[in-house]
Each structure stands twice: as C-alpha cells, then as structure tokens.
Amino acid sequence: MSLPATLDGPWRFGPVTVWRCPHVPGQRGEPQARQVLAQALGGEPDALPLLRDDKGRPELSGALAHYGTGWSHSGEVLLVALGEGVRLGVDLELLRPRPRMLEIIQRFFHPDEVVWLQGLDEADREHWFFRVWCAKEAMLKAHGQGISFGLHRLQLAPAADGALHLRWCDPELGEAARWHLHEWQASGQFRAALAWYPQ
C-alpha cells in the first residue's frame, strides 16, 4: 500500500512546480525559498516582492501577484512550490510513530473520517493517517488559515484509484470540486501533499 519513493523533483502538477531542496534543521525556510523562487522567476532573492498576509501566509505582490507560492520544511528536506493563477499550499510530514494517533483522529478529524480510520487495522490506519493529515495541512495552508481553521471542516476519502479526494468542505474553503490535491513520497521518510485552488 505504500507508494514508492520518487526522484528528487522538481515535480510538476498542473500549473504548479514543486522543488525539493536539502535543508539545515532548525533554520527558517524563507531565505532558501527566496533563492529557489528568484531562480525560477528571475531577479535577486532579496528583491523578490514576497510578503506575508495577516495570517503569516506568503504572497507574491506587484507584477508577480498572479503567482501562488508556499513552502514546507521538516528535518533535512525543504519543498518550495510555485504556480500561476492559483492559491496553493504544500506540506511535508515525517513518517514517525504516533502513539496517540487514534486519540488525535477522534478529537480533530471529520466524523466520517473517524469512522473510516477507526475501522482499519493499525498498519493501514497509520498509512492513511499521515496521508490525510498531510493533505489537510496543504489545503488549509492554501486557504490561508492553517490548521487552526479546523481539521474537521473538510472530509477526505480514498477513491477507487487509491488517491485521496476531497468529499466535502466548509463553504469558506470554496467548492470541493474545484480543489486539486496531489500526494507523493518526497523521500523515503517523508510524505508530501500539494493543494491548489484556481484563482
């Protein structure tokens, strides 16, 4: 059931490109993200019109305002995403034991997800937990609120092809059918998810 590790990227998902970079644990992601974005868009990293909104979400302004961007880092990996005409979010999760996994699911997930995940054996539950968590983080980053908005305000479920799909979301997140979600194995230890919504 686990997906194979892929190449090092960059990965292309529709209008979005995602780069994977080595990262020094404990360092901020933005300086490195600026370098990647400046290389893609032209210009100097420090001159990039990259701002933060009132929730801390990164945005490009001025002549580059039609691009969406975001990044995520964990351990020694950094992902940087850039796409034209979209709001996007990217997330990276280290696959590690979660002793309170069931408690987290019951407390924070959508009721239908709780029923689904509680019914799985331990190995399958762990596999899907990380995928669901990572996908939700990416979507809520794209929305701009982050997980404080509420992990229960969107419902994910696997389709026949084994991919996660957004079944339902709070109207504040837009129309469920317009969301695009992509998941992959960013390295042997990390799950990655990208979510984007057309502007």
Radius of gyration in angstroms for the set of CA atoms belonging to the chain, rounded to a whole number: 17
The per-residue pLDDT for range 164-183, each reduced to its tens digit, is 999 999 999 999 999 999 99
Residue 156 and residue 191: Cα distance in Å, rounded? 16
The per-residue pLDDT for range 43-64, each reduced to its tens digit, is 999 999 999 999 899 999 999 9
Q: What is the pTM of this model?
A: 0.94
Q: What is the mean pLDDT of each run of 10 residues along the chain (199 residues)?
A: 53 97 94 97 97 94 98 96 98 94 97 98 96 98 93 97 96 97 93 97
Q: What is the pLDDT of residue 9?
A: 82
What single-letter amino acid sits at 89? G
Token pair for residue 162? 């084994």
N-term to C-term CA, the chain: 34
